[in-house]
Amino acid sequence: MRFAHRLGCWVVLLVLLPGCNSLNPLCGSARPVPVLNSISPTTIVFAQMPPSFPIVLKGSRIVSSSFGLFNGSTVATVVNSSSQLTITVTSSMIAGPGTYGVQIQTPAGNSGDLGCSSGGKSAILTFTVT
């Protein structure tokens, strides 16, 4: 905040910094961009794949509205904590051996147009089917 004294009156100027959620007091409802650090398992054998299986995604800045993406498609997700969620992948999503992207997405919050960033996608990690 800046203060200015002019002719016996005080004027308070509030400087809002666009995109700086921690410094912008109007960004209280903005959601953080999730961070994805690791997945488990990282590989599966195609011939031994069950009809569905879980993949645990670990990272940070995960919120209750976050969800998992498998190869770009939304999948069933359980948020376990602010650092972990579990997705369920079905065998019908895997055409054969290869690599598939795993990612966390958080939808934007209710920040309006106040210079607040909100939500987003994590980096993509690779799940390998051999």
* CATH number belonging to domain 29-129: 2.60.40.10
**Secondary structure (H, E, C), the chain:** CEEEEECCEEEEECCCCCCCCCCCHHHCCCCCCCEEEEEECCEECHHHCCCEEEEEEEEECCCCCCEEEECCEECEEEEEECCEEEEEEEHHHCCCCEEEEEEEEECCCCCCCCCCCCCEECCCEEEEEC
Q: How is the chain split into domains, by residue range?
A: 29-129
**Confidence band of 9 (pLDDT split at 50, 70, 90):** low
Using one digit for the tens of pLDDT, what is the confidence trace for 94-127?
999 999 999 999 998 754 555 566 788 999 999 9
Range from 14-23, 48-57, 85-94 carrying the lowest mean pLDDT: 14-23
Using one digit for the tens of pLDDT, what is the confidence trace for 30-54?
788 999 999 999 999 999 999 999 9
Q: pTM (2 decimals)?
A: 0.74
